[in-house]
Amino acid sequence: MSAGEPLQCVRIYLSERNSAEGQPLYLIVLDRLRREGASGATALRGIAGFGAGHRLRTAGIADFSQQTPIIIEWLDRAERVARVLPALDELLGEALITIEDIRAYRAALRSSGPFGSRSVADVARGDITTVPPDMPLATAFDRLARSRQPLLAVVDGQRLAGVILPEDADRFGAMPLEALAELDNDERSAALAHLAARPVRDAMREPRTIYIESPLAHTVNLLVEWGLDALPVTDNEGRLAGVFGVEQALRAALDGDYSSIYVRNAEPPPPVSLIMQMLVPTASASADAAAVLLQMLQSATRTVVLVNGFYPTGAMSIPEATRRVREPLRPAWIAALLGDRSPLAALAASSASGMTAEDLATAPALISSHASEYDAIRALLEGEKQNLVVVDGEGRLAGMVTRRGLLRALAQEG
């Protein structure tokens, strides 16, 4: 929160005799608010008071009876109150609840990291493509490739039944989906023909999900810990509400408001030099294209940087190479993407591909090693890039920064 935001104070009136699940009700409510991503709440014990029955109750030094009044005071953004409060209705029954609009003179966030107090609901992507479990797997992979989503949600009626991830393409003998999206219709149909008879349910995974009110920092840590690019988001009734992934996390970090004098920033963002990976696959621009394509398939980043001495001159990636490759190299490249690398290896051995690495490359997306992580995030998102080539002050190749590398850095700051 920062000064000037529309804030509300919610007061929930209970007594110590109220309980649920064998615990004091006020503790259960506080825990529920914490799990729902509320900004902050406090339970206050009343000294004396009376309610509708006009019976005066007191709590002396030695008399904290089960009749002692308890007030939970919860301060939060108005829009979060509107989302979270209905989820407490069943728990709170007939308890008196009041809401008051307030103004904050100061709301300081100390060491809050790049995500502050925001929840998944603030940044999740809601417009996602879903598929039924009986859809042909070939059609599902085609949709996932074209949509460029981080996952496909498999929905059976109103229930989230599973997910299809891009890496599932490799499990079922399909090519990397970033390449599939660059094929023409006939090539795409041929590449997916062996999957036409298999339904989605054969490939879908048990879904790991994240609740829509989960704190952003916690969710980013889960993505890093589980090695996932995205998670389906569910509401308080378990229904699919969207998706949260690496891109949403990077946008959330970039969109954070650090301008207010009332909000204390965390430590200055680290430079790219502390985030980048230093081992980068490289090749000469004049190298035979088939040899460099083989090298790229073996690279963890699926990218090869073309260099002239120490200076980057281009970058080869799977989508760009698939878009640019032509005969006689194209059939061998498509076969390699489907798992048979022998035709491509034969062309590489004979240097008979008819193309050089430069023919398949684009200009490298460069960033200085002295730039901040937020500069890198902005460049990746605005350029729709998966990675950036890092150069030193003299323009020499220094490393590479990736989206997942930035995600790990942000998780460490939370």
- Find the domain containing 135 and state its range: 120-255
Q: In what order do the strands lie in the sheet with 366-368?
A: 366-368, 387-391, 397-402
Percentage of the chain modeled with pLDDT above 70:
89
Domain assignment present for residue 264? The answer is no
Residues 192 and 150 in one domain: yes
Residues 224 and 299 in one domain: no
pLDDT (tens digit per residue) in 249-297: 999 998 864 444 344 444 568 899 999 999 999 999 999 999 999 999 9
CB atoms within 10 A of CB 404: 16
Strands 303-308 and 311-317, how do they pair?
antiparallel
* pLDDT recorded at residue 265: 46
Domain assignment present for residue 334? The answer is yes
Q: Which among 151, 160, 211, 174 has a CA at the least distance from the CA of 338? A: 174
pLDDT at 98 over 70: yes
Domain count, the chain: 3
Average pLDDT of span 308-332: 94
pLDDT at 66 over 80: no
> Where a domain ends, among 85, 107, 129?
107
Geometric angle at alpha carbon 333, from 291 and 402, rounded to 5°: 70
* pLDDT recorded at residue 5: 65
pLDDT at 191 over 90: yes
Domain assignment present for residue 114? The answer is no
Q: Residue 333 and residue 228: Cα distance in Å, rounded?
A: 28
Residues 251 and 165 in one domain: yes
Residues 130 and 200 in one domain: yes
Residues 282 and 393 in one domain: yes
pLDDT at 373 over 80: yes
* pLDDT recorded at residue 76: 86
In this predicted model, which residue has the larger pLDDT, 262 or 117? 117
Strands 152-156 and 130-131, how do they pair?
parallel
Q: Residue 306 and residue 359: Cα distance in Å, rounded?
A: 11
Mean pLDDT of the chain: 87
The burial class, CB within 10 Å (0-12 / 13-18 / 19+), for 401 is buried
Residues 283 and 391 in one domain: yes
Residues 127 and 80 in one domain: no
Average pLDDT of span 46-56: 68
> The CATH number of the domain where 287 resides is what?
3.10.580.10
Give the contacts of 300 (CB within 8 A, at least 6 positions apart): none
Instruction: Give kind and range of the element (H or E) at residue 159.
Output: strand 159-164
Total count of residues recorded for the chain = 414
pLDDT at 58 over 70: no
pLDDT band at 112 (very low <50, low <70, confident <90, very high): low
pLDDT at 60 over 80: no
> Where a domain ends, among 201, 229, 255?
255
Domain assignment present for residue 136? The answer is yes
Of the ranges 259-263, 353-357, 390-394, the best mean pLDDT one: 390-394
Residues 279 and 406 in one domain: yes
pLDDT at 2 over 70: no
Q: Residue 160 and residue 229: Cα distance in Å, rounded?
A: 18
pLDDT band at 64 (very low <50, low <70, confident <90, very high): very low
> Where a domain ends, among 63, 78, 107?
107
pLDDT band at 84 (very low <50, low <70, confident <90, very high): confident
In this predicted model, which residue has the larger pLDDT, 373 or 15? 373
> What is the DSSP-derived secondary structure letter of residue 270?
P
Give the contacts of 262 (CB within 8 A, at least 6 positions apart): 2, 3, 106, 107, 108
pLDDT at 162 over 50: yes
In this predicted model, which residue has the larger pLDDT, 285 or 56? 285
pLDDT at 39 over 80: no
Domain assignment present for residue 355? The answer is yes
Residues 402 and 292 in one domain: yes
Judge whether 113 and 217 are in contact, CB under 8 Å: yes
Query: Out of 194-203, 207-216, 253-262, 324-333, which region has the weakest mean confidence (pLDDT)?
Result: 253-262
Judge whether 80 and 6 are in contact, CB under 8 Å: no
Geometric angle at alpha carbon 175, from 172 and 176, rounded to 5°: 110
Distances (CA, A) of 297 to 238, 304, 321, 340, 344: 39, 9, 11, 12, 11
3-state secondary structure of 117: coil
In this predicted model, which residue has the larger pLDDT, 325 or 77? 325
Helix/strand number for the chain, H first, E second: 16, 20
* pLDDT recorded at residue 252: 94
pLDDT band at 34 (very low <50, low <70, confident <90, very high): confident
Residues 20 and 132 in one domain: no
* pLDDT recorded at residue 293: 96
Domain assignment present for residue 113? The answer is no
